[in-house]
Chains A and B, each alone.
Chain A
Amino acid sequence: MREKWLYGLGIVAALLLARNINVMLVDLPDEAFQGSIFRIIFFHVPAAFTCFLCFLAALLAGIMVLARKNLQWDSFGVAAVEVGLAFGAANLITGMIWARIIWGIWWTWDWRLTSMLVCWLLYAGYLVLRRAIEEPTQRARMAAVVSILNFAVVPFVFFSIKWFRTQHPQPVLYGEGKMDSGYRLMLYTNWLPILMIAAILIAIRMRQETQQREVDALRREAHAF
């Protein structure tokens, strides 16, 4: 039943993405100053939003692990962090490619770019920490604490372009930012299938983590004979 839901969601996401790419490349006009490279924003920003949502989910999972001591929340937490890292990487890479054309450089150590990279590395550290601890309950507890502490960086990354003078463009979707309504609609319309894909990946990864725990239990049973 759950598998069918995931396949269904995948098909809807693929159709929506195909439709969006067609509208983006054929119907939407080039941005006046940036030209066609501007269209990268329709993946760059939704990837960042999805990454932050995944990290928020990991924070909530971490709180639930500590409160309920249920390892299912730990599976959800690790799945959310891994998927968040994948979308975070997509956000960083698309940003660098945009920067090469608009700024003439691949990277600059400004507040937004640096804080996003630090955030990504901190969550990568979460995965490294998990590999270092064998005992499942202890691993879940330590990972929960780290995911709660790591989340402190996320609001800093999000608001850094508002709080500091940066080379990165100012916010276009909140604050005083203005974006043409056609572009804004495209951005949100493209975020929807990306969110669907993230949900599918989290569900699959979460199931794998549960199965891995079953394998570890079987292994202990086999050694106990």
Chain B
Amino acid sequence: MNDAAARNFTYLAYGLTAAWAILVIYVLTLVSRERKIRAQMNSLQRMLEDKERK
């Protein structure tokens, strides 16, 4: 493989990695948002139950 072909292939690898990295980052933001929503829901439910008991 000559230099130009090797450079070509390296950039192809960069492109594919970048495309999937963007989607992985988006999935990670979805996961963190899911955790945040669950935590908020649990704490609010606990707060409402406490208030009802009082």
> Chain B contacts of A201 at CB under 8 A?
26-27, 30
At the interface with chain B, which of A108-116, A166-174, A213-221?
A213-221
Instruction: Establish whether residues B30 and A97, one from each chain, have CB atoms under 8 Å apart when the complex forms.
Output: no
> Chain B contacts of A82 at CB under 8 A?
26
Instruction: Establish whether residues B19 and A47, one from each chain, have CB atoms under 8 Å apart when the complex forms.
Output: yes
A89 CA to B21 CA, complexed, in Å: 11
Which residue of A21, A34, A221 contacts B48 across the interface (Cβ within 8 Å)?
Answer: A221
From 24 to 46 in chain B, residues with beta carbon under 8 angstroms from any chain A beta carbon are 26-27, 30, 33-34, 37, 40-41, 44-45
Taking A197-B23, A208-B30, A211-B41 as contacts, is the C-beta distance between A222 and B18 under 8 angstroms?
no
Instruction: Establish whether residues A212 and B4, one from each chain, have CB atoms under 8 Å apart when the complex forms.
Output: no
Q: How many chain A residues touch the partner (CB < 8 A)? A: 35
Instruction: Establish whether residues A90 and B8, one from each chain, have CB atoms under 8 Å apart when the complex forms.
Output: no
Instruction: Establish whether residues B11 and A37, one from each chain, have CB atoms under 8 Å apart when the complex forms.
Output: yes
In the assembled complex, A163 has its CB within 8 A of some CB on chain B: no
- Which residue on chain B has the smallest CB distance to residue A46? B19
Q: How far is the CB of A19 from chain B (nearest CB, A)?
A: 15
Instruction: Establish whether residues B34 and A208, one from each chain, have CB atoms under 8 Å apart when the complex forms.
Output: yes
Interface residues of A (CB under 8 A from B): 21, 34-37, 39-40, 43-44, 47, 82-83, 86, 89-90, 93-94, 97-98, 100-101, 197, 201, 204-205, 208, 211-212, 214-215, 218-219, 221-222, 225
Interface residues of B (CB under 8 A from A): 4-5, 7-9, 11-12, 14-16, 18-19, 22-23, 26-27, 30, 33-34, 37, 40-41, 44-45, 47-48, 51
